[in-house]
Amino acid sequence: MARIVIFGGHGKVALLLAPLLSARGDDVTAVIRNPDHAEDVRAAGAQPVVFDVEHRDRAATAALISGHDAVVWSAGAGGGDPARTRAVDLDAAVRSMDAAADAGVRRYVMVSYFGASPDHGIPADNPFHAYAEAKAAADERLRASGLDWTVLGPSRLTLGEATGRIDVAASESGEVSRADVAQVIAETLRADSTIGRTVRFNAGDQPIADALQS
């Protein structure tokens, strides 16, 4: 059994991930901002913790993470205000990395997106620019953190059913179901071969466990 803390615990992917982890015996903490979401999280098999990642400090975040075996960062501002996007998708994410180190929790899985890169190519006048900048910077900070990190880069998310299969060799973004992303996260958490790797993926034909080992 592992103790996993998921930031962004009421997100669509997180609500699909929690039952997978719970079913295999893991103890799941789901970090949420809105207390009204607590029952949804409990129904998914996780223990809700109300915590404002945007405004709580590093020490408080470390106290929350302490005692867990791994961190999954699946939180985000959801677009819109560029300042809040930076505050959540970059500043809070980096704070959680530092806090994980403080708490002695080395395993850290970042849910990013397929095209995340300092050379993302999104024009400054595009509404997606602030998010692209924040995610690229957060991913780079994680890679330099010294933690046992994995950056996951799923392509465009759909509401399709889980297939249990992905493509990690594609050079261009396609699409993948949130249900398969949840399965990828779950497998990543128990596959040490993913430590120190960035895994970009689309829907595909290769079983997830095999794809992550390739």
Instruction: Specify burial of residue 34 (Cβ count, 10 A radius: 0-12, 13-18, 19+).
Output: exposed
- C-beta atoms surrounding 25 within 10 Å: 8
Give me the mean pLDDT over the 169-189 stretch.
97
Does 78 have pLDDT greater than 90?
no
Q: Which two tokens stand for residue 206?
A: 């290769």
pLDDT range class, residue 162, cuts 50, 70, 90: very high
- The answer to whether 109 and 73 are in contact (CB under 8 A) is yes
What is the widest separation between alpha-carbon atoms in the chain? 47
| pLDDT for position 121 | 86
Which position has the token pair 């006048």? 125
Give the domains, in start order, of the chain with CATH numbers.
3-213 (3.40.50.720)
